[in-house]
């Protein structure tokens, strides 16, 4: 399938969906104090809304993908975006801790399935050898959300009402629904094998190693990102208002990193691109911990870490799609669950040394260790794949 004008529009539609998803995932972090104040709960209690969404992603990714296999991919993407829009709009009208917890969980359910199925669809719409760039176009929506959508949503939440932040997400969802309906071409059913056959993908050791790689490797980024605000204010000496600008810098880095990672996946194999990205992540996170007290250096590093961290996204998505042959959409969706487990694990492990009194720079070092562990897992996957290929050749030679 050549990349004609209609296919470019289809990728833009996926990107708009990604923008909405990226915005709802990250804007809650910026408006947490406002939500806590409005609902008369503590900030740690308001933090449960982040966890509820992440849990929705982890549960929804395999469930929605597996159950929707009998429908065409373009219809599944539309249904997922309708669900996303409905429950994000409902979040805007939540007036208690319980209702917002439920609506945040339900909002998270379509996240992983949308990106998982969308990544496979993007790859099919691309020219030969350009699947990585097509997938990166979809993920660009998520990265651009961090530069534009999240700051606007945070501003509305701070200066007017936090409900407006979620209403804005709902409006983006409606635009995404219309884009998907009009621009994504008719496609075959989501699953090529069927529900029961799809589940057999989990018998493959390589799939579990890739899920572990995503969880641990990308957890390195989230270990740093979760504590960026106190690092900037308590260590670097910046004002609280500078945190928003620093997050925009990180978001701009993510936009560049997303496309650099896609280019790397075309030049090298996906897993080698992952190893290069994670190696750079280890290096910049260690440097970040060393220069954190310098207010200028920390801002430069924030931009660079944004670039390096998002270089890993598209290559790892390609790797899991290749390893899930026959059940690509389920495997691809599970990778999105792994990203969110990385979000939770990164924040958790980085919080341990901070709680022990080692300071906020320790979060960057924990991130470096997690990214380094990701490199070891990636090398193990390459070794495992090579040994399996050798064994297969031996069996074929013996049988012949």
DSSP, residue by residue, 208-246: HHHHHHHHHHHHHHHHHHTTHHHIIIIIS---HHHHHHH
pLDDT digits (tens, 9 = 90+) for 252-290: 999 999 999 999 999 999 999 999 999 999 999 999 999
What is the band of 9 on the pLDDT scale with cuts at 50, 70, 90? Answer: very high
Nearest to 202 by CA among 65, 314, 396: 65
CB within 8 A of 103, min separation 6: which ones?
A: 87, 88, 90, 91, 94
**Quick check: 3 pLDDT over 80?**
no
CB within 8 A of 63, min separation 6: which ones?
A: 109
Mean pLDDT for the stretch of residues 375-395: 85
pLDDT for 193: 60
pLDDT for 201: 81
Contact status, residue 119 vs residue 332, Cβ threshold 8 Å: yes
**Quick check: 350 pLDDT over 80?**
yes
CA atoms within 13 A on the CB side of 389: 6
Alpha carbon distance 164, 157 (integer Å): 7
pLDDT for 191: 58
pLDDT for 181: 95
Angle at which helix 240-267 crosses helix 150-159, to 10 degrees, equals 160
Mean pLDDT of the chain: 89
pLDDT for 228: 86
Alpha carbon distance 12, 122 (integer Å): 10
pLDDT for 2: 44
Mean pLDDT for the stretch of residues 70-77: 91
What is the band of 239 on the pLDDT scale with cuts at 50, 70, 90? Answer: confident
DSSP-derived letter for residue 72 is: B
Cα of first residue to Cα of last residue in the chain, in angstroms, is 37
**Quick check: 1 pLDDT over 50?**
no
How far CA 316 is from CA of 265, 326, 338, 366, 374, in Å, comes to 9, 18, 11, 21, 11
pLDDT digits (tens, 9 = 90+) for 171-212: 999 999 999 999 999 887 655 566 677 778 888 889 999 999
pLDDT for 195: 66
Alpha carbon distance 373, 99 (integer Å): 39
Tokens read off for 81: 């975006």
CB within 8 A of 74, min separation 6: which ones?
A: 121, 180, 184, 185, 186, 187
Alpha carbon distance 56, 170 (integer Å): 18
Residue recorded with tokens 């998803």: 21
pLDDT digits (tens, 9 = 90+) for 106-163: 999 999 999 999 999 998 888 888 889 999 999 999 999 989 998 899 889 888 999 9
Alpha carbon distance 204, 60 (integer Å): 21
Nearest to 41 by CA among 87, 121, 95: 95
How far CA 48 is from CA of 41, 106, 153, 167, 284, in Å, comes to 11, 14, 19, 20, 30
Mean pLDDT for the stretch of residues 89-116: 94
Where is average pLDDT lowest: 56-70, 189-203, 334-348?
189-203
Question: What phi and psi, each to the nearest 5 degrees, are found at residue 126?
Answer: -80, 160
Residue recorded with tokens 């026959």: 326
Mean pLDDT for the stretch of residues 62-83: 91
Q: State the virtual CA torsion across 328, 329, 335, 341 in degrees, nearest 10.
A: -150
pTM attached to this predicted model: 0.85
pLDDT for 197: 72
Mean pLDDT for the stretch of residues 313-319: 93
Angle at which helix 48-67 crosses helix 32-39, to 10 degrees, equals 100
Alpha carbon distance 268, 265 (integer Å): 5
Alpha carbon distance 105, 90 (integer Å): 12
């Amino acid at each position: 399938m050549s990349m004609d004008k209609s296919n470019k529009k289809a990728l833009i539609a996926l990107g708009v969906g990604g923008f909405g998803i990226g915005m709802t995932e990250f804007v809650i972090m910026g408006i947490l104090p406002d939500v806590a104040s409005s609902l008369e709960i503590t900030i740690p209690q308001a933090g449960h809304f982040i966890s509820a969404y992440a849990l929705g992603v982890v549960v929804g990714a395999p469930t929605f993908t597996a159950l929707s296999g009998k429908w065409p991919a373009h219809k599944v993407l539309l249904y997922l975006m309708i669900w996303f829009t409905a429950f994000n709009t409902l979040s805007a009208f939540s007036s208690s801790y319980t209702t917002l917890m439920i609506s945040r969980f339900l909002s998270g359910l379509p996240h992983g399935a949308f990106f998982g199925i969308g990544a496979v669809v993007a790859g099919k719409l691309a020219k030969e050898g350009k699947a990585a760039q097509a997938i990166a176009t979809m993920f660009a929506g998520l990265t651009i959300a961090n530069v534009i959508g999240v700051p606007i949503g945070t501003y509305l939440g701070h200066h007017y009402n936090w409900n407006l932040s979620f209403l804005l997400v709902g409006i983006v969802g409606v635009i995404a629904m219309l884009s998907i309906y009009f621009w994504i071409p008719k496609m075959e059913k989501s699953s090529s094998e069927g529900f029961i056959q799809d589940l057999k993908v989990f018998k493959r050791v390589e799939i579990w190693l890739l899920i572990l790689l995503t969880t641990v490797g990308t957890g390195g980024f989230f270990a740093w990102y979760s504590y960026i605000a106190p690092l900037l204010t308590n260590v670097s000496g910046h004002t609280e208002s500078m945190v928003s600008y620093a997050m925009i810098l990180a978001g701009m880095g993510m936009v560049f990193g997303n496309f650099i990672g896609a280019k790397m996946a075309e030049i090298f194999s996906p897993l080698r691109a992952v190893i290069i990205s994670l190696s750079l992540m280890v290096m910049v996170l260690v440097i970040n911990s060393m220069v954190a007290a310098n207010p200028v250096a920390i801002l430069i590093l924030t931009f660079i870490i944004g670039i390096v961290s998002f270089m890993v996204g598209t290559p790892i998505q390609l790797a899991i799609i290749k390893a899930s042959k026959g059940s690509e959409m389920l495997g691809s969706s599970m990778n999105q669950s792994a990203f969110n487990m990385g979000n939770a694990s990164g924040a958790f492990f980085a919080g341990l040394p901070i709680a022990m009194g080692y300071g906020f720079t320790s979060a960057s070092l924990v991130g470096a260790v997690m990214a380094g562990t990701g490199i070891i897992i990636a090398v193990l996957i390459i070794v495992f794949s090579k040994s399996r290929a050798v064994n297969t050749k031996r069996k074929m030679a013996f049988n012949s």
